[in-house]
């Protein structure tokens, strides 16, 4: 049996567990996804040639935020009001520095803003109007909200509204009587492509980041796991983790931190820790649907999920890359 995939330095990425059903993925669309994942990995690799782990994460994620294919930046899922609001977070392992933003509506690359929070403020988490004011103060690129909105996500919003009306029990449904059980998960498509990256640089530093438009038809200021440090993103001196999936479950189980904690407390490998969380903890709580990418400090690459697929890829120090979907 081959050993775990291990890199000296490089980047591992995901483009979300909300993959299209295999029969809906046309050859053209599949090529677009694979090309964009490859571009993201190349950008991350190029940034690491003479940069730090956080450069690798931001540049890899920027490509996916700018692509309409993924649920981050342009092409994000739409809120119930038809607008896009985005969340992002980033963390470096050696010093536990972290930055996160949520409910941001005009920043072209939310991951860049998360990094600014980490590097230029004494705080970790900024939301809404305050985060936008901080963004403007720091001269980040601002764009009208319409720029993020795509035809495909408008249709996805209509679909989400219809499914919620039919009582499919999405996390947005309020007032579910206690005796009405959560529905069986049908598909993970409502998550639709949150993006994330974990990088290990030449100096052995680890950084993890995640960026999302959240779930389709979200309202009441709902925020998922992606910007929550310890839930959607975490990095320590042992590993870096970026998650995707049904955010409420990832928050309740502090999934990204749990991977690092299992390594620290149980002495298990990063692969074992991820397996326990994704196929143990979350699987037992179905619909705890989702997946994650992780890097151990020894360069072990992990890309794991309990859904039909996860857009994903990794690149090593030589620039050799590999992408996958199902």
3-state secondary structure of 250: helix
Q: From CA 317, how far away is CA 66, in angstroms rounded?
A: 25
18: contact with ligand ASP by CB under 6 A: yes
Q: How far apart are CA 124 and CA 233, in angstroms?
A: 13
Supply the Cα-derived Rg of the chain in whole angstroms: 18
Q: Between 16 and 296, whose beta carbon lies closer to ligand ASP? A: 16
Options 2-10, 244-252, 274-282, 306-314: segment touching ligand ASP (CB under 6 A): 244-252
SS3 at position 174: coil
The position carrying tokens 């928050």 is 251
Tell whether residue 114 is a contact of ligand ASP (CB under 6 A). no
The site map against ligand ASP for 199-238 (x = CB under 6 A) is -------------x-xx--------xxx------------
210/96 Cα distance (integer angstroms): 16
Determine the 3-state secondary structure of 120 from DSSP.
helix
**Does position 106 bind ligand ASP by CB under 6 A?**
no
Closest CB 241 distance from ligand ASP, rounded Å? 13
What gap in Å lies between CA 214 and CA 230, rounded to an integer?
A: 17
Q: Is 307 among the residues that bind ligand ASP (CB under 6 A)?
A: no
Residue 34 tokens read as 């694979």
Q: Choose the catalytic residue: 194, 233, 244, 307.
A: 194
Q: Is 288 in the site for ligand ASP (CB under 6 A)?
A: no
Pairing of strands 125-127, 98-104: parallel
Q: Is 303 in the site for ligand ASP (CB under 6 A)?
A: no
- Taking alpha carbons only, the member of 52, 2, 4 closest to residue 274 is 4
15 is a contact residue toward ligand ASP (CB under 6 A): no
With CB under 6 A as the rule, give the number of residues binding ligand ASP: 15
Considering the rule CB under 6 A, would residue 16 count as an interface residue with ligand ASP? yes
Q: What is the dihedral of CA 88, 93, 98, 101, to 10 degrees?
A: 0
Active site residue 269: no
Q: How far is the CB of 218 from ligand ASP (least distance, A)?
A: 8
Shortest Cβ 323–ligand ASP spacing (Å): 18
Q: Is residue 291 a contact residue for ligand ASP (CB under 6 A)?
A: no
Strands (E), 230-277: 233-235, 239-245
Using alpha carbons only, give the angle 196, 23, 307 rounded to the nearest 5 degrees. 40
Q: Which H or E run contains 135? A: helix 128-137
| CA 84/CA 99 separation, integer angstroms | 21
Q: Which is nearer to ligand ASP, 134 or 191 (CB)?
A: 191
Binding mask 40-79 for ligand ASP (x = CB under 6 A): -------------------------------x--------
Q: Which stretch binds ligand ASP (CB under 6 A): 147-155, 242-250, 268-276, 302-310?
A: 242-250
Return the residues of window 162-191 that contact ligand ASP according to CB under 6 A. Answer: 191
Asked if 249 interacts with ligand ASP (CB under 6 A), we say no
Quick check: 281 and 257 in contact, CB under 8 A? no
* Residue 58 or 215 with smaller CB distance to ligand ASP: 215
Could you list the residues that contact ligand ASP (CB under 6 A)?
A: 16, 18, 71, 191-192, 194, 212, 214-215, 224-226, 244-245, 247
Task: Show which residues are catalytic.
Answer: 194
């Amino acid at each position: 049996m081959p050993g775990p995939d291990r890199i000296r330095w490089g980047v591992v990425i995901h483009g979300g567990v909300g993959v299209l059903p295999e029969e809906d993925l046309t050859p053209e669309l599949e090529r677009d996804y694979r090309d964009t994942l490859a571009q993201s990995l190349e950008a991350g690799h190029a940034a690491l040639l003479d940069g730090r782990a956080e450069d690798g994460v931001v540049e890899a994620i920027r490509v996916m935020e700018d692509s309409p294919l993924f649920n981050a930046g342009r092409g994000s899922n739409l809120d119930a009001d038809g607008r896009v609001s985005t969340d992002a977070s980033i963390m470096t392992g050696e010093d536990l520095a972290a930055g996160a933003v949520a409910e941001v509506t005009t920043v072209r690359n939310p991951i860049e803003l998360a990094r600014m929070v980490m590097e230029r403020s004494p705080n970790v988490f900024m939301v809404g109007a305050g985060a936008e004011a901080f963004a403007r103060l720091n001269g980040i690129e601002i764009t009208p909200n319409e720029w993020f909105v795509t035809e495909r996500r408008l249709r996805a919003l209509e679909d989400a509204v219809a499914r919620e009306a039919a009582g499919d029990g999405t996390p947005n449904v309020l007032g579910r009587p206690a005796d009405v059980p959560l529905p069986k998960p049908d598909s993970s498509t409502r998550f639709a492509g949150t993006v994330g990256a974990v990088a290990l640089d030449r100096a052995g530093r680890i950084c993890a980041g995640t960026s999302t438009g959240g779930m389709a038809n979200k309202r009441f200021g709902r925020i998922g796991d992606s910007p929550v440090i310890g839930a959607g993103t975490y990095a320590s001196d042992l590993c870096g983790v970026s998650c995707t999936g049904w955010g409420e479950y990832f928050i309740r189980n502090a999934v990204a931190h749990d991977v690092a904690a299992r390594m620290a407390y149980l002495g298990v490998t990063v692969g074992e820790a991820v397996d326990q969380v994704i196929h143990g903890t979350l699987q037992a709580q179905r619909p705890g649907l989702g997946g994650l990418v992780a890097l151990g400090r020894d360069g072990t690459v992990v890309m794991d999920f309990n859904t039909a697929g996860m857009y994903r890829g990794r690149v090593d120090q030589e620039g050799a890359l590999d992408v996958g979907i199902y």
